[in-house]
Chain A
């Protein structure tokens, strides 16, 4: 376990010594600031003007949906691109620099490598999500509302981010070219949503049901609506485990392939 902690610590601090993380944090903060203040402003206009309210649907009059959901969707969008960029240095770049040989000849298992790198990756995602939540916490100081659904949504987005992390780490294990790892990661992350979207294209009831069950959309939507099901957690954890498992297999098999 000490090994996991050691690699975790090194990778986590490593993120902060790379300009990439600060660039991301900067981009995220700028976008958050713009969309959040615009969201609040629109919401305020809507509430103060009775005319608009008549035609609006109830969701638009709820701060959770009208402002925070929008705000957190942006986090999701950023995660799609940030996660592979962060993950590419974890394995692909190590292979390129040959420093991976050090890990492979150290007394640690492939699982410990995957686990520690994965944890460091989701910790950084967590940090980015905290950035987004700062806005929401400050809003809480000003307006009265129930924070719980928003926190649940945040958890949902974080879990989706954790799924991206497992897929991006897997992508990173496949190649020794960081750029290729980055692109595969984005493709996988987007693929997750495209796959979920397929449900709308089939008319077949059974297929539709199956796709909905195994796509993130459905599970995330439940959490957004404030419904917390253990099956959703099990679902997310299974995908994460699946990709981490694949990643571990790829690392292990690199001993058999030519290095």
Chain B
């Protein structure tokens, strides 16, 4: 569906993106992750044909973005970082205009506008001038604008920026609902968002692709161990005893009553630890499991980038 090969974009002698290649299949929902300035927006701009790369190629539905831009643009709905709004139009007229620009047949225009208004819950403000809307509503109009032509591919650059939590959840539901009908690429900094809606993750760091995999693989990849946080009543050092339980990798006594225990990821070890606490009558007050989540993967890949992380 989307194939990107050795994409490079330089500004002067700085690399905005450096040799990025990936492939996205039909129906995928892809989360494009990376810290600020990683090159997410740049990658998206190239795929949408807004910008040309310094070198490399991008293909959408088999059409090269630069040789056949019109075919590509017909199939893409794009929400840029700044929603491209005409501030002195009404929401409805604006969406109608976008539909027409995207070459949707005249018959379908009206129904497309209706359903986009519906999906982004903009019906109440349809006759308002966009200039007078709040930031969150403008963002929603931006999302509606990307959806309105019912494109095969949706490219959303930080779609939930500026929205209130309820709206964020609703956009998430919307994306889940759109799954299957569209291939979606979205960029974001919010990891829970990616976990909630995406089935594939691409992480970019300093212009380089450092990870491109499905969500399940990533979670498996980084889960050889789990951390247990335990709080007991007894203020006697139990570290030594904990260490003797098989499967425990390390124990860290945070304060007299609290421990952080790294264990191998299996239930038997957890059970053994709990049994031990009960037997010693230490008085278990609290226990929580810190699973290795996406955030750890993300942070370890981008911030404290070690050799090991690069290998992944």
A residues touching B (Cβ–Cβ < 8 Å)? 2-3, 6-7, 10, 14, 17-18, 97-109, 255-256, 258-259
Given contacts A100-B84, A255-B50, 7 further A-B contacts (CB under 8 A): A3-B101, A17-B88, A97-B84, A101-B82, A106-B73, A107-B70, A259-B51
Chain A residues lying within 8 Å of B247, measured Cβ to Cβ, are none
Q: What is the minimal beta-carbon distance from B159 to any residue of chain A, in angstroms?
A: 15
The reply to whether A101 and B50 form a contact with Cβ atoms under 8 Å apart is yes
Q: Which of B78, B82, B85, B103 contacts A105 (CB 8 A)?
A: B78
- B69 to chain A: closest residue by CB: A107
Cβ contact within 8 Å between B49 and A105 = yes
Q: Complex Cα distance A259/B49, Å?
A: 12
The residue that A102 contacts in the complex, of B11, B52, B145, with Cβ under 8 A, is: B145
Closest to B106 in A: A2
Closest B residue to A255 by beta carbon equals B52
Q: Is B102 an interface residue (CB 8 A)?
A: yes
Question: Known contacts A255-B50, A255-B51, A259-B50: does B70 contact A102 (CB below 8 Å)?
Answer: no
**CA gap between A97 and B86 in the complex, in Å:** 8
Top 7 nearest A-B pairs (CB, nearest first) are: A102-B84, A98-B82, A107-B73, A107-B74, A106-B101, A107-B70, A99-B84
Complex CA gap A178/B100 in Å reads 27
Q: Which of A6, A14, A98 contacts B101 (CB 8 A)?
A: A6
Q: Assuming A105-B49, A105-B50, A255-B50, is B73 touching A97 (CB within 8 A)?
A: no
Which of A2, A100, A102, A259 is within 8 Å of B45, CB to CB? Answer: A259
With A6-B97, A10-B97 known to touch, is A108 a contact of B84 (CB < 8 Å)?
Answer: no
Q: What residues on B are CB-neighbors of A98 within 8 Å?
A: 80, 82-85
User: A-contacting residues of B (Cβ < 8 Å)?
Assistant: 11, 45, 48-52, 69-71, 73-74, 76, 78, 80, 82-88, 97-98, 100-103, 145
* Nearest-neighbor residue (CB-CB) of B88 within chain A: A17
Known contacts A99-B86, A258-B11, A104 near B50 by CB under 8 Å: yes
The distance from the CB of A256 to the nearest CB of chain B, in whole angstroms, is: 6
Q: Could you tell me the distance between the alpha carbons of A103 and B84 in the complex, rounded to whole angstroms?
A: 9
What is the distance, in angstroms, from A252's C-beta to the closest C-beta of chain B?
10
B269 CB to nearest A CB, Å: 53
Report yes or no: B84 in contact with A101, Cβ–Cβ below 8 A: yes
Determine the residue in chain B with the shortest Cβ distance to A89.
B88
Q: Please, how many angstroms separate the alpha-carbon atoms of A258 and B45 in the complex?
A: 11
Q: How many Å from the CB of A101 to the closest CB on chain B?
A: 4
16 A–B contacts from the bound complex (CB under 8 Å): A2-B100, A3-B103, A17-B88, A97-B87, A101-B50, A101-B82, A102-B84, A102-B98, A105-B49, A105-B73, A105-B78, A108-B101, A255-B49, A255-B50, A256-B52, A258-B11
Q: How far is the CA of A97 from the CA of B130 in the complex (A)?
A: 12
Q: Please indicate the chain B residues that have their CB under 8 angstroms from the CB of A105 in the complex.
A: 48-50, 73, 76, 78
Residues of chain A within 8 A (CB-CB) of B103 are 2-3, 107
Residues of A within 8 A of B69 (CB): 107
| Contact of B49 (CB < 8 Å), options: A7, A18, A99, A104 | A104
A205 to B87, CA, bound (A): 55
Q: Which residues of B contact A17 (CB under 8 A)?
A: 88
Cβ contact within 8 Å between B45 and A106: no
Residues in B neighbouring A103, C-beta threshold 8 A: 101
Whether B49 lies near A102 (C-beta < 8 A) is no
Per the bound structure, the CA–CA distance linking A256 and B69 in Å amounts to 14
Most buried by B among A18, A100, A104: A104
**B86 contact set on A, CB distance < 8 A:** 14, 97, 99
Interface-central residue, B51, B73, B82, B83, by most chain A CB under 10 Å: B51
* Least Cβ–Cβ distance between B99 and chain A, in angstroms: 10
Give the docked Cα–Cα distance between A14 and B52 (Å).
31
Q: Which residue of B lies closest to A17 (CB)?
A: B88
List, in ascending order, chain B residues with CB within 8 A of A2's CB.
100, 103
Complex CA–CA separation, A18 to B88 (angstroms): 8
Q: Max chain B CB contacts within 10 Å: which of A6, A105, A106? A: A105
Note all chain A residues with C-beta closer than 8 A to B83: 98
CB distance from A10 to the nearest CB of B (A): 6
Interface centre among B86, B101, B145 (most CB of A within 10 A): B101
Q: Which residues of B contact A99 (CB under 8 A)?
A: 84-86
Give chain A nearest CB distance to B228 CB in angstroms: 49
* Minimum CB–CB distance for A103 against chain B, Å: 7
Instruction: Give the docked Cα–Cα distance between A17 and B51 (Å).
Output: 32
CA A107 – CA B70 in complex, angstroms?
4
